[in-house]
Structure formats: structure tokens, C-alpha cells
Amino acid sequence: MIGQYGSYDFRKFERDFRKGFYGIEACLLQSEEDIFALKMAAQEHDFQIGIHFPLRNRGLVIRDALFLASDENERNQAFQSALEELEAIYRLGLRPAYILFHYPKPVILDDCVDWSKWHFSSPREYVYESEYAFEEFTQRSEELFVWMTERSRQYGFVPVLEFDALNRYVYASDALEELLKKYDLIRLCLDTGRLFLQEKRDPSFRSVPVMRKYAKYAEVIHLWNLQFGEGFIKLRYPVLPEQRQEDGWAPIAEYLQIIKEENPNAKIQFEHRSELVDDEELERCYHWVSEFLAEDPY
């Protein structure tokens, strides 16, 4: 898959999309014209649509729904805004294969980690672990899973939760895995760059075990690389086989091997900035990933 964020970019589609790709993940489209173009392209080229909530850019400071907020009014607002978005999507006739939401939101942060360089649009987007009990996390998460399951059956889409920053409630307990087993319509999105970035920021976090733990539940993999040295050197870079860990790149080959072993049917969404490479490098990116995950290139 490829992404279309902010607008439906015809030039990006012509350069990045390939025959045989599953589809396009769309997010924060600016206008009705962009949505119409996406719908028409899906019909013409026979691809599926995934939506990264929200589909439409409404100019909000916080784009994510704060489903796990401690404040009841904040939670109610999150569920209401998500429902309004679902109804609007289906009135438009898009019929997405999946709709993706960030999780957990608010993000639950380890008090001992320096999060100053993690991007947040507002302090309302996060809460520290010391202020948010494990029991509240499990209760609010199950409420979300119940709601998502009901909406999935009502509207006919796969609900996907994309990990934001994670604390030990997710990576050091089985609570989320138990919910994924109990509510098996709910799936995950694993973001390779985001997981590697947290490993570099959080000394308690290891991305490979998290990938191994949750890959089997993934509907979508957001695939991109970053090179981490003294700060960011390259961000949202297309994955290429020559990117070595000793040079500060994420262990993409190890991630892909886990995906191949645990969930070879997961959708690969190239969430990179393709303009950072030339046409030959972009083709090598596609070819390497396809060859790695399957016996035959796409």
C-alpha cells in the first residue's frame, strides 16, 4: 500500500503505486475534491481504501480520538467524534477495508523517560503512568474494544489500533493480548520507525520483542526507516537493504523476518517519503521488501 495524506496527489500515485498493490491509506484530506478523487481512483484501478483517522482535515489541534481519557466528557467526545466520522465516511460511499486509530490515546508515558522530543500537539494527548493506573488502562481499553467491535459489525470495516508511544502496560503485561484474543475483530498497526524511535528514547523498551509479541495481530505494517545518530539524520526514509544497524538504522530486516514468520498476510503500507529517493531506489525498496516477504517479487 501507499499513503495519501493531506490531499490526493495524482503525481504521487503515478510514481508510487504499482499494479498489484492492495490499496491506499488516506488521512487528513483537505477537500471534498480529494475524497472524490480517491473514490474514483479506487474504482478505476480496483484497489482497496484504508483510512487513517481522521479522513478529513477539520483543523483540530488534536487529530486523534482520546478514547482512554480519564475525564468522562473527554471520552464521550472522542467516541462521538469517531462515530460522526464513520457515518460521514459511509455516506460518501467509500467502504474502507480498515479504519485506523492511534492507541493508547492519551499516550501513557513512563515517568522515568525523557519524552521532550516525542511529538505531541497538546498536553492533553498524554498522561504519565504514575497518574494513570493499570486497572484504568484495562477497563478503558476493554470499553474501547467493545465499542470498536460493535462499530465494525455495524459498518463492515476492520478496526485497527496503531501503537503510539508505549509503556509497560502494553509491552510488559499480557492485558492487551488478552483483549485482542477476546475481541478478535480488532487488529493492530505496527510502525517500524516509531518502534525504533522509542527504543532510542526509552532505555526500558526493546522494539524486536514487541514486534515478535504483536506481529500476529497486525493488519497493517507502517514501513519506513530512520537513521538515528546525534538526533535525527534521516526520517521517514524508504527501507533499503544497504541500511546497516551499525550506521544507526533500524533493524528492518529483523522486523520483516518476524512479520514473515508470524503474519505473512499483513499489509505493508510504505509510510515513507518517497521523494527522498530516486526512481531506481524506490523500485529497489519495493523489490527488496517483496522478495523478502515472499518467494516471488510482486
Give the residues across from 98 on adjacent strands: 50, 158
In a domain, 140, yes or no: yes
Cell of 295: 518467494
Model confidence pTM above 0.85: yes
d(CA 159, CA 185): 7
Report helix, strand or coil for 17: coil
- The number of angstroms, rounded, from the C-alpha of 3 to the middle of its chain's C-alpha atoms is 11
**Do the Cβ atoms of 215 and 205 come closer than 8 Å?**
no
**Do the Cβ atoms of 239 and 252 come closer than 8 Å?**
yes
For residue 297, what pLDDT is reported? 45
For residue 36, what pLDDT is reported? 96
Identify the domain containing residue 118 by its residue range.
2-293
For residue 298, what pLDDT is reported? 46
In a domain, 99, yes or no: yes
Name the domain count of the chain. 1
In a domain, 298, yes or no: no
Q: Is the peptide bond before 238 cis (omega within 30 degrees of 0)?
A: no
For residue 295, what pLDDT is reported? 60
In a domain, 51, yes or no: yes
Cell of 205: 523498551
In a domain, 42, yes or no: yes
d(CA 211, CA 261): 11
Cell of 81: 467524534
Amino acid at the residue 35: I
d(CA 107, CA 42): 34
Average pLDDT by stretches of 10, the chain with 298 residues: 96 96 96 96 97 90 91 97 95 95 97 92 95 98 98 97 97 98 98 96 96 98 92 88 95 97 96 97 97 71
In a domain, 209, yes or no: yes
In a domain, 48, yes or no: yes
CATH number for the domain harbouring residue 285: 3.20.20.150
